[in-house]
Structure 1
Amino acid sequence: MQYKDYYKILGVPRTASVDEIKRAYRKLARKYHPDVSKEPNTEARFKEINEAYEVLKDPKKRATYDALGSNWRAGEEFRPPPGGFWRDFEFKVDGSPGDYSDFFASIFGRAFRGEGLRPERGQDQTIKLVIDLEDAYRGATRQIRVDQPEDNGPGHTHPKTLNVRIPAGVTAGSRIRLAGQGAPGRNGGPAGDLYLEIEIKPHPLYTLEGRDLHLRLPVTPWEAALGATVKAPTLDGPVNLKIPAGSQSGRKLRLKGRGLPGSPPGDTIVQIEIHTPPATSETARELYQRMAETLSFDPRAHLGV
């Protein structure tokens, strides 16, 4: 049996990083893929490339391979220890056992020849799902596309479209579990799960904190001074909000239960901002002048200046 120089197969030095190995593999896989390549012996070359990448991308397998010694050369006869290096050690691999050479099986044991393999559950996957605040409030159904790993070779994926129900009241950072929609299992094992990690887009009106919504509400000086009932927006439509007389900028009013649904639901917290009319007309300037002469009001008196 001949020694296989996996580094030479991928065209990388023995000191190559994982990223360099990955780039080399992708370049060669595109070149020799049986569906597109017109090179001679494409199928055999493609399997050889996959086998080399399977070992060199994995730190444990690479270390075992490198343990053969730096004095091995491509074409030199290889005599493995009886039973292989790790005869009974079972790895998770991409690709069927039949895609690997006798050299590979001799190093890594009978697990790669398909003997005594146990069913293995597929890996869980997590992806971000960005939604609007309105979707978090009312709930929604969204169609998403995920790239699901396959078990017929490293780097192989296929797109999958899923219809996802987003429950009302979902918060930023929470996860939705889709059972059995993760990576496929090995040797008849069940598929893993797919987790959708929720991210909520910034909103032009509201700031979200947990389940509470924060809203800045502009009011006029007379509405703040005399008190008034004004329209305030909520995610469920406008409501009448009573502004207490004598309110100052920064005062917070709470709309109970008007935040994201839940147990308990959140609130909408309205912070008052007093906006003064511009003195752009003669009437406005005269009114401000009368106020300055009539009202003995100094907002900086507490500063001692």
Structure 2
Amino acid sequence: MSKRDYYEILGVSKDDDEKAIKKAYRRLAMKYHPDRNPDDEEAAEKFREATEAYDILTTPEKRSAYDQYGHAGVDGQSGYGGGGFGGGAGAGGFGDIFGDVFGDIFGGGGGRHDPSAPQRGSDLRYRLDLNLEEAVHGTTVSIKVPTLVECDSCHGTGSADGSAPVTCSTCGGHGQVRMQQGFFSVQQTCPSCHGRGTEIKNPCRKCHGDGRVQEQKTLSVKIPPGVDTGDRIRLSGEGEAGANGGPAGDLYVQVSVRQHEIFERDGRDLYCEVPVSFVDAALGGELEVPTLDGRVKLKIPAETQTGKLFRLRGKGVKPVRGGAQGDLLCKVLVETPVDLTDRQKELLREFKESMEDTQGRHSPKTNSWFDSVKKFFEDFKN
């Protein structure tokens, strides 16, 4: 049986961010959790599907592979073990997933997480708007990204005097406190240490004991030739600084190409519309047309009709992932003259009169169309 689409399982779209995916998974997990549906195989299967989809779609590398190749790109990569719902799931398994989503309510997956352990910093996303020329030819841009960086005053320790953190007096180092709410005993993040399990007695004045400070980084990003809207560029280690000495996350630069006033892009090909005077269309001529590499001559044969496509090979886009360069397709639009002088109008009337006896030869499509209209009305009467 083929697998269902992960976005369909969670009821989200491909444009939704991690927050929306997490919210959708929380709703399904609460509904189909085995503890709330004992001996219900259908609920258990839906819970398993939702957990697997959540794991794939909240891991940037897995989501990128899934978006590009579907299930074939992530087979065997799901962190969900699928063999039960208790605490026995392995690293990256269901216990970690469920704890990540419901940690504040259920105690972070049963206390398996060490709040004082080094934690990887969050990944960041930055939308980069480019014009078509920059996207096709490639460029280097400078971007400013607000992020958390290691505090240079305490070197990430959070302590003003370099002293080691001490066990939190409120939670006893667990990072969680238990609260009684009616019949239920609920674990919540410790309000004193915010889940760390430790306290800093003499916090750094600059970062207030967090070890990280908000800062705007300026980065130089090299854009390869041929990128298009939706492409992502990963800058490893340029995300938020990790907590407790953990590694920094990554920065994902999301490319968005602005609409061009002349060209329209379709993959590796470019399209443009070329206005042609009705005289040049009838008699033939030569025009200069623009390309992203400069101007080229386009020969217009005599009797060219509006809508005719001319292909200029190799004047399109070289794909970022390799392959042959695309083409430029020019669509002819025969332009009706406007703001005519009296003499010009008189010449056109003379021209029209000169064609009256041989109209069928000069305008075959017009006659064909009128013949079709005549037949249509005759059939309609019958």
TM norm. shorter chain > 0.5: yes
Q: Deviations over 1:134-168 (max 9, x none)?
A: 11122212110111135765996321110111122
Relative to the length of structure 1, the TM-score reads 0.61
> Contact 1:124 / 1:182 at 8 angstroms: preserved in 2?
yes
Residue from 292, 300, 314 that aligns with 1:235: 292
Q: 1:87 to 1:281 in 2, by over 3 A?
A: closer
* Count of residue pairs the alignment pairs up: 206
SS at match of 1:258: coil
Structure 1 vs Structure 2 CA RMSD: 2.7
Q: Deviations over 1:3-48 (max 9, x none)?
A: xxxxxxxxxxxxxxx9xxxxxxxxxxxxxxxxxxxxxxxxxxxxxx
Q: 1:86 to 1:289 in 2, by over 3 A?
A: closer
Q: 1:218 to 1:157 in 2, by over 3 A?
A: same
Unpaired runs of 5+ in structure 1?
1-17, 19-57, 66-84, 91-110
Q: Which amino acid aligns with 2:334?
A: I
- 2:110 and 2:256 map into 1 onto residues whose CA distance is 46
> Contact 1:279 / 1:285 at 8 angstroms: preserved in 2?
no
Structure 1 match to 2:329: 269
Structure 1 match to 2:373: 304
Structure 1 match to 2:105: 63
The reply on whether 1:194 has 2:236 as its aligned counterpart is no
> Contact 1:171 / 1:211 at 8 angstroms: preserved in 2?
no
Q: CA deviation at 1:243?
A: 1.3
SS at match of 1:126: strand
Structure 2 match to 1:134: 133
Q: CA deviation at 1:245?
A: 2.0
Q: 1:59 to 1:168 in 2, by over 3 A?
A: closer
Q: Which amino acid aligns with 1:286?
A: E
SS at match of 1:120: coil
Structure 2 match to 1:205: 262
Residue from 213, 230, 234 that aligns with 1:173: 230
Q: Which amino acid aligns with 2:373?
A: G
The farther-off stretch of 269-278 and 258-267 is 258-267
SS at match of 2:238: coil
The reply on whether 1:121 has 2:120 as its aligned counterpart is yes
Structure 2 match to 1:280: 340
> Contact 1:122 / 1:189 at 8 angstroms: preserved in 2?
yes
Q: Which amino acid aligns with 2:349?
A: Q
Unpaired runs of 5+ in structure 2?
1-22, 24-99, 151-206, 375-382
**Residue identity (%):** 35
- 1:279 and 1:289 map into 2 onto residues whose CA distance is 15
SS at match of 1:304: helix
Relative to the length of structure 2, the TM-score reads 0.49
Q: Which amino acid aligns with 2:307?
A: G
